[in-house]
Structure 1
Amino acid sequence: MTVSISEQDTARLGGAGSILMRQRREHARLDSMMHRYLARGMAPDGQDELWQEIVQLVFSHAFAEETVLWPVLRRISADGQDLTARVEQEHQEINELIARIEKSPEDPHCGAWIRQAFALITQDIRDEEDELLPRMREALSDRRLRQIGAAWEAVRASAPTHPHPAVSRRPPGNALSGLPLSAFDRLRDLAPATAPAVRRAALVAAGTGAAAAVILLVRRAVRRTCI
């Protein structure tokens, strides 16, 4: 019987550095952020800042899953193809919704779109913790779970932080298209639209070199998960 990782303790999940514990901690953080966002009484500036943090966490987290975790799951689980396809579809729907919000932030439907995105994210968390990640616990040693956790963290730290619906959900297509975009996403996070044009141009130019470095880092991390 598959047991949700939400019902297992740290030792059973392979230790604090395992991919299962890293995932569960980040899911809990995201859930807390979404609840705070929807709570009444938050100042508009604070809510906008929290929204950006949620977006950055959602997309870096999901990209690392698609690059590192789901290829492993497809190798070790008989139903890995179907399970990962379902979660990838959830990721795609979240991408499209948040891209719509970022494109039209003043649209009167934005509030409904945000709630819809949060509902999809919550469902995605449940699917991963209750069905996908337990397969990894059943098939892999504690040491292997920690290795995958380290690779996932390395990719997450250099992944895109904004929606890119046209990017493939699977490697190698996601890395070839998404990773160059990650450098620009992170530079954009440092230089918002209100920044002087010269500063924005300098950061974009820096992104060209950064993209190559990001791709190299991710290739090394993914290679480690295949050992």
Structure 2
Amino acid sequence: MPRTAKEQTVEQLGGPRSVLARQRRDHAEMDRLMERYRALTDGEEREQVLKEVVQLVFSHAFAEETVLWPAVRRSVADGEELTSRVEEEHQQINDLVAGIERLSPGDPEREEKVARVFTLIRQDIRDEEDLVLPRLQEASDTAQLRRLGAAWETVRRSAPTHPHPIVPRRPPGNALLGVPLSLYDRLRDRLGPILPPAVLKRVLTALTGLLVSAAVAAVVRKRR
């Protein structure tokens, strides 16, 4: 198996446009921001950095789940097991950050959750760079890695930027819900919360139910 993505040069990863190099750049930025958060003492600065961490982590994870992990499942023998492990980590991060966003800055419980989520993010990075990405690298040529990189970057730039724990982790559910959620999140990033959390949860639950119904109907039609 190829070496961990962390130890390879950009050229070995397929060049700067490869999905492997793009992933590693994001991972390095996450780590830099988390370290900056820990080093800061000013409350407002810390909140801004935490906001940047959250926005990057969730847009990055959404692009993985929409573009990258389906490619791993198609091309890697144990891709299902590998991606299921990472998706479980993503769900834990989702749940923790959703809890963080409900608590006030300075709350000791909030700081404890931030520390836990940072630990999970770092574990997720290691699992991806040491286990998942090398297996994808092994199964793909440079052209494939660059095509995946272009698709991944397109999705990442228009992805949701906040946790939505009830949203499916896999296509087509996450991809279909991604458009309205991205619009909502980006307005929220500019203007603050728009809908009360309880109302947003009801809306998302209803949308998820509609998607499940549509998927079932599509399967029934296909079998006829």
Alignment pair present for 1:81 and 2:80? yes
State the match for 1:23 in structure 2: 23
| Gap regions ≥5 residues in structure 2 | 196-224
Which residue identity does 2:166 align to in structure 1?
A: A
Give a deviation string over 1:35-71, Cα, whole Å, max 9, x none.
11011x4311111111111110000000000000000
State the match for 1:122 in structure 2: 122
CA drift of 1:143 comes to 1.1
Do the aligned residues in 1 keep the contact of 2:2 with 2:137 (CA within 8 Å)?
no
Give TM-score scaled by structure 2 length.
Answer: 0.84
Do the aligned residues in 1 keep the contact of 2:160 with 2:186 (CA within 8 Å)?
yes
Q: How does 1:114-153 map to 2 (within 5 A)?
A: 114-153=114-153
Alignment pair present for 1:68 and 2:51? no
Give TM-score scaled by structure 1 length.
Answer: 0.82
CA drift of 1:108 comes to 2.9
CA drift of 1:7 comes to 1.1
Which residue identity does 1:166 align to in structure 2?
A: I
Which residue identity does 1:76 align to in structure 2?
A: S
Select between 97-106 and 115-124 the one with higher mean Cα deviation.
97-106
Do the aligned residues in 2 keep the contact of 1:68 with 1:148 (CA within 8 Å)?
yes
Do the aligned residues in 2 keep the contact of 1:88 with 1:169 (CA within 8 Å)?
yes
CA drift of 1:11 comes to 1.2
State the match for 1:46 in structure 2: 45
How many Å separate the matches in 2 of 1:102 and 1:115? 14
CA drift of 1:103 comes to 1.3
Which residue identity does 1:99 align to in structure 2?
A: A
Do the aligned residues in 2 keep the contact of 1:159 with 1:182 (CA within 8 Å)?
yes
Which residue identity does 2:132 align to in structure 1?
A: L
How many residues in Structure 1 have an aligned counterpart in Structure 2?
194
Helix, strand or coil for the counterpart of 1:170? coil
Give a deviation string over 1:124-169, Cα, whole Å, max 9, x none.
0000000000111111111111111010000000000000000000
Flag as ranges the 4+ runs of structure 1 deviating above 3 A: none
Alignment pair present for 1:161 and 2:161? yes
CA drift of 1:77 comes to 0.6
State the match for 1:8 in structure 2: 8
| Gap regions ≥5 residues in structure 1 | 194-199, 202-227
State the match for 2:110 in structure 1: 110
Do the aligned residues in 2 keep the contact of 1:2 with 1:131 (CA within 8 Å)?
no
CA drift of 1:2 comes to 3.7
How many Å separate the matches in 2 of 1:104 and 1:26? 27
Select between 13-22 and 99-108 the one with higher mean Cα deviation.
99-108
Identity %: 56
Do the aligned residues in 1 keep the contact of 2:63 with 2:159 (CA within 8 Å)?
yes
Once superposed, what is the RMSD of the aligned Cα atoms? 1.3
Which residue identity does 2:118 align to in structure 1?
A: F
